[in-house]
């Protein structure tokens, strides 16, 4: 899971914006202004017998991470947290 959902910077972060792009998700912010320090984005690729490929992008570590539990949920009340 992406650590960004519990980070105070999630709605302003350029790294999270890039992850949203890869997932074709609606952006929390169209013009993020926060440049994180050393975000580590992990890309996982899985294929199923049906020949479909699932690609998952997650920020797993970041020197700018600042814990704000539930931040994403407060920004998008009623929506499911991205997995």
Every domain of the chain and the residues it spans: 3-75
Over residues 12-41, the mean pLDDT reads 96
Q: Measured between alpha carbons, how far is 76 from 23 in angstroms, rounded to an integer?
A: 17
Residue 59 backbone phi and psi in degrees, to 5: -85, 120
Over residues 57-73, the mean pLDDT reads 97
pLDDT over 80 at 50, yes or no:
no
**Closest by Cα among 67, 58, 20 to 39:** 58
pLDDT over 80 at 83, yes or no:
no
Q: Measured between alpha carbons, how far is 12 from 45 in angstroms, rounded to an integer?
A: 27
Q: What is the mean pLDDT of the chain?
A: 93
Over residues 2-23, the mean pLDDT reads 96
pLDDT band at 48 (very low <50, low <70, confident <90, very high): confident
Q: Measured between alpha carbons, how far is 34 from 26 in angstroms, rounded to an integer?
A: 18
Q: Measured between alpha carbons, how far is 52 from 4 in angstroms, rounded to an integer?
A: 27
pLDDT band at 74 (very low <50, low <70, confident <90, very high): very high
């Amino acid at each position: 899971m992406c650590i960004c959902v519990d980070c105070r910077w999630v709605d302003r972060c350029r790294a999270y914006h890039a992850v949203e792009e890869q997932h074709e998700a609606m952006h929390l912010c169209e013009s993020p202004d926060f440049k994180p320090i050393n975000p580590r984005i992990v890309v996982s690729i899985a294929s199923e017998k049906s020949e479909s490929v699932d690609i998952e992008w997650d920020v797993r570590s970041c020197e700018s991470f600042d814990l704000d539990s539930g931040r994403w949920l407060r920004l998008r009340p009623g929506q499911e947290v991205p997995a």
